[in-house]
Amino acid sequence: MQKEGFDALKSGRAVAFVMDDPLLYGKRAQEGPAQDEYMVTGDLLAHESYACMMRKGDPVFKKLADDVIAGMERSGEAEQLYDRWFMPPIPPDNINNINLRFPLSPEMKALFANPNNQASDN
C-alpha cells in the first residue's frame, strides 16, 4: 500500500499521501535528488512513544538508566545524537544520495527539556 500511495503522488494521480511521518521521511529520502520535490507537512496524526525496558526488581540499575538518559536529554547530548543520525546524509559516502532530514519533533524537544519516566497516553 505504501508503494502504491507514493506512486500515485509521484504520477500526479494524488495530491497528497498520508502515512506515519517517519515512513514519509524515509520514502522521500529514497527519491535521491528528486526528494526536494516533496515535503512532509501538517499535524501529526499519531504520537509514538519509545521506552527502555529492563528486568523488574533492580531499582539501582533503573535509577542509573534514568539518570543517564535524563542527563543526556538535559545536556543536549541526546539532541546532538538524534541530529547526527537523522539529519545528515546516510553513509557510507552517501552513495544513493539518501538523507532523511527527519527533524526532532516539538514533543520530543519538550520531553528532552523535562525528562520523566512516565508512559505517555498519546
Domain ranges within the chain, ordered by starting residue = 1-46, 48-122
CA distance 7 to 1: 10
| pLDDT tens figures, 5-33 | 889 999 999 999 888 888 888 888 888 88
| pLDDT tens figures, 36-65 | 899 998 877 766 667 788 889 999 999 999
Residue reference for cell 520514502: 27
- Is it true that the peptide bond before 92 is cis, omega within 30 degrees of 0? yes
pTM of the model: 0.70
Q: In this predicted structure, what is the pLDDT of residue 120?
A: 57
Q: Does domain 48-122 fall into CATH 3.40.190.10?
A: yes
Question: Contact at 8 Å (CB) between 57 and 84?
Answer: no
Residue 118 has pLDDT above 80, yes or no: no
